[in-house]
Amino acid sequence: MWAESWKSIPDKAKRLKAAFDSYHWLIKAIDIYLKGYRIDLNNYYPGVNALTLSTIAVHLADRFDDKKDPDPDITRIRQELAELKGALVFALETKVDVDNADYWTLISLAELRALTADNIANVVRSYRKALTASRRNLFFLQASLSQLEILRALEMRSDFVQAAINILEEEVGRVSKDEKQSASKSTKRKASGTSSDGQVFLFAGYMVDYPSKEKKTFPESKENEVRTEIRKKLEKCNAGPNDIAILAGLSAGSEIIFAEVCAEKGIHVNVHLPLPEAGYIREFVSPGGENWIDRFYKIRSHPLVDEYYQLENLGEVKEGYDPYERNNRWALYSSLVRGTDKVTLIALWNGVGGRPKDRDARLTRHMVELMRETGGKIETINTSKYIHGFVAGAYDGLPDLSKPVPSATKTKIQKKAEKSPAKGK
């Protein structure tokens, strides 16, 4: 009722004055939301609404209220604002720091930052993070835009609010466009009848090297070379629109590059993700930097790319199971839809055996082993040639035969080495 009294007024000065003149409705709404929040402090939604409306009330009062005789309700709201803000920031930051934080939790923190942050970058990061859980749902995005448009109409923190609006409008535009393209392509595929004789390309490969990565396997400076190698492998196999590409992730590095190359060639891409999107981005995309996050959003929004989430499709992981290796198996089994003879694994892999400590290297090796057991074709791209001094790290994970070990723990390789006489003796 309060917003209806002013939002259609075109003149800026008159609009703001009308918003203040009907602030009694605003105060009533604030008190209702505060009451709901105080009944259950774990339910932060009414708290966020109370904070937003309280901030608006103070903003309008600063402009129009009588400085000598301010409204006591607005004075009360002003005094409660700092405490309310502190409680909500703590509650929301705690809730978003989990893998399965939903869109409304993430967007609530983003809206809070739009009202309180000291720098625009903080607001931008929060809204981008919220998009990772939006699942490209236009209703979610447009609801959030409506909230921001109220703040913009009231000229509140214009630069911060506009930065947030830009992010949401870009995503709305992208999703709307993709939905139209996807519907069009789906209609064309049904009309033409996509051949079941096409190939399936499974991919596994390293993340791009980042500062805290334990083992360097893919220097970012070599991205163009890796992209060219991937393209050559697909061309060697005569890959085309009748084929399918399957990945067990969309991490910063070779997986995103592979998906991009496939999309360029008109190949449909199915991405199997081991974690909810927000958690996955934090673990596997963010370490590469902002550019890789932007590329993740762009490729996952491509009309030829579909995501499938392990939890939604397979349920909870059993105790003792590795969710990432489970994800590899899921992607591999999905790739067999046209038969083992139609599957080719393209692996960006340096050939290291053993069980590397680095999770990224371990999962790539694991996928290669799964494909070997299945009997499918494997095309490898060895990254060792891109790494300076690779000899020092190329054999990480292999047993050290130069050191004696207790017989109970000797490996097959070590026992064989002991039995075989050295050459020249």
Considering the entire predicted model, what is its pTM?
0.53
The answer to whether position 100 is within a domain reads yes
Nearest to 376 by CA among 348, 347, 342, 334: 342
Residues 153 and 247 in one domain: no
The answer to whether position 215 is within a domain reads yes
SS3 347: strand
Positive/negative CA dihedral, 216, 217, 220, 221: positive
The residue out of 127, 143, 174 marking a domain boundary is: 174
Residue 259's CATH number: 3.40.50.450
Residues 117 and 212 in one domain: no
The residue out of 174, 208, 223 marking a domain boundary is: 174
Residues 246 and 156 in one domain: no
Task: Count how many residues are written for the chain.
Answer: 425
Cα dist. 78→47, 57, 67, 84, 91 in Å? 15, 9, 14, 10, 21
Is the distance from CB of 14 to CB of 64 less than 8 angstroms? no
Task: Please give the residue range of the domain that contains residue 109.
Answer: 3-174
Alpha helices of 154-289 — where are they, by DSSP H?
Answer: 158-192, 223-236, 254-264, 277-280
- Rounded-to-integer distance, Cα 225 and Cα 223, Å: 5
Residues 168 and 206 in one domain: no
Residues 217 and 81 in one domain: no
Residues 213 and 347 in one domain: yes
Residues 169 and 208 in one domain: no
The count of domains in the chain is 2
pLDDT tens for the 425 residues of the chain, in order: 677 778 889 898 999 999 999 888 889 889 888 888 888 777 777 888 899 999 999 999 999 998 889 999 999 999 999 999 999 988 888 887 765 678 888 999 999 999 999 999 999 999 998 988 887 777 788 888 988 999 999 999 999 999 999 999 998 888 777 656 555 544 444 444 445 578 999 999 999 988 877 777 888 889 999 999 999 999 999 999 999 999 999 999 999 999 999 999 999 999 999 998 888 888 899 899 889 998 998 898 888 999 888 888 888 888 888 999 999 999 999 888 888 889 999 999 888 766 667 788 889 999 999 999 888 899 999 887 766 444 434 444 444 333 333 443 444 434 444 444 444 43
The answer to whether position 283 is within a domain reads yes
The answer to whether position 187 is within a domain reads no
Output the pLDDT for position 408: 39
Is the distance from CB of 19 to CB of 60 less than 8 angstroms? yes
Residues 156 and 204 in one domain: no
Residues 112 and 225 in one domain: no
Residues 134 and 220 in one domain: no
Q: What is the pLDDT of residues 150-203, one digit of tens each?
A: 999 999 999 999 999 999 999 888 877 765 655 554 444 444 444 557 899 999
**Residue 420 tokens, joined:** 């075989």
- Rounded-to-integer distance, Cα 423 and Cα 106, Å: 65
Output the pLDDT for position 179: 59
The answer to whether position 424 is within a domain reads no
Is the distance from CB of 11 to CB of 55 less than 8 angstroms? no
Residues 147 and 272 in one domain: no
The residue out of 174, 209, 243 marking a domain boundary is: 174
The DSSP H or E segment spanning 244 is: strand 244-247
- Rounded-to-integer distance, Cα 126 and Cα 124, Å: 5
Output the pLDDT for position 354: 61
The answer to whether position 399 is within a domain reads no
The answer to whether position 135 is within a domain reads yes
- Residue showing tokens 């609404």: 49
Residues 168 and 305 in one domain: no
Q: Tell me the CB-side half-sphere exposure of residue 282, using CA atoms within 13 A.
A: 17
The answer to whether position 413 is within a domain reads no
- Rounded-to-integer distance, Cα 277 and Cα 124, Å: 18
**Residue 108 tokens, joined:** 């609530």
Q: What is the pLDDT of residues 280-289, one digit of tens each?
A: 888 899 899 8
